Amino acid sequence: MHPHLSLAQALRVNSSSCIAFIGAGGKTTAMFQLARELPGPVIVTATSHLGAWQTELADKHIVNQTPAALEELVHGWKGVILVTGEIDKERTKPIAGDLLSWLRQFCGDRSIPLLIEADGSREKPLKAWAEYEPPIPSFVDVIVQVVGLDGIGKALTADHVHRAEKFSGLSGLPFGETITTSSLIRVLIHPEGGLKNIPHRARRVVLLNQADTPELQSLAQGLSQSLLASYHSAIITSLKLKRIFAVNEPIAGIVLAAGESSRYGQPKQLLDWKGEPFVRAVTKTALQAGLSPVVIVTGSNAASIESSVNDLDVSIVRNEQWKTGQAGSIKAAVKALVAPAAANVGGAIFLLADQPQLTTSVIRALVEKHAGGLYPIVAPMVIDRRANPVLFDRATFSDLLVLEGDVGGRAVFHKHRVEYLPWHDDRLLLDVDTPEMYQRLIADDTL
């Protein structure tokens, strides 16, 4: 838990982002909280209805439907500016399509954040979607699907769910039955449910709100793991308490296996560990710990090393410049992670191929520590010594990509905050540089 992590940091948005909010259980609160965190001016609008009382959350409310009339009002804008259609029966009308297009162009040209509420929920914690919902513009960069955890454990009725009959159809849960986490997951990952109308290129974030108790925070953690196959990020928060409890994102595993092992005299990556080569043991541990994707960087003895893992669900990156040092392997792996196919990973854990004694527990602990604060670097600390493996947040990737020579990730420690994870397994301090160390590793494992 990190009380100082802002919603803007958790969402990984910047001053030029265009973000749409959908779902139920705190959409408008989340949108205006984010607007207050971003540098102004910030433009807020809606392709759905807002309650008239919600217009008071902005510094300035402009009722307009034409770009020409709005152009006369933009000079000297500051703070949070809400642009809506006219107010009708205590609700604002959505803005017209040509005005929305104009706002997008205006904000894009000036690097002004544009936040859009693209859904209505009648202030219920959960919802499902009518045929015409949600009206999400095709140009948004980020979709924030807000979920009210308060709806879990309640009856599936109109008292707790907007469009309860639709929710029943999507979830398979009979009307009036108790809403379970599994029924909620089915709705959120359904192409006609939580994923409906989301532009293909948009980053998908599920915001699990109303985690006001430790019990709900634990429940939300379980939800997160089930949703990460369909969403790029699952944030656990209490907007009421203004707390971000966790930012769960895919974390990659990078197995560095390109070295020549010149000091050892033979490829360490292929030494035996319980009947398997070192590199295979390390890779299987990374996969079992839930790292995704897992990338293996090869170089010297590439063919033999790759054949030892070719049946595993991994990507292979060859570092043809392996003789120049470890920096080349790091850069090759990070380039693979910033490619479009893996561009939404939250960070990467670098694993050494000569540490087969590595456990899933330390990997998961590093991921959990990072999720609690999005720390740039998280490293184990064993008996006052920094150990491997080390987790690097994606915010460090640009610095890792300019490393040169025989240096590792430690070369960027001075540029980023390092959060240490106390750990009590001194086997993390042992890597295999000599045959004597290999024998010690084998002996330690038999104790």
Task: Give per-residue pLDDT as tens, 16-41.
Answer: 889 999 999 999 999 999 999 998 89
Residue whose entry in the numeric block shows the structure tokens 């054949």: 307
Confidence (pTM)? 0.92
Would the pLDDT of 2 be above 50?
Answer: no
Q: What confidence tier does 75 reach under pLDDT thresholds 50, 70, 90? A: confident
Tell me how far apart the alpha carbons of residues 306 and 310 are, in angstroms, rounded to a whole number. Answer: 6
pLDDT tens-place string over residues 339-361: 766 668 999 999 999 899 999 99
Look at residue 446 in the predicted model and tell me its pLDDT. 58
Percent of the chain with pLDDT over 90: 70
Confidence at 1, pLDDT banded by 50, 70, 90: very low
Higher pLDDT, 387 or 208: 208
CB-CB contact of 356 with 402 (8 Å): no
Domains, the chain = 7-248 (3.40.50), 251-446 (3.90.550.10)
What pLDDT, on the 0 to 100 scale, is given for residue 15? 79
What's the rounded Cα separation, in Å, for the pair 260 and 321? 12
The upper half-sphere exposure of residue 196, i.e. CA atoms within 13 Å in the direction of its Cβ, equals 21
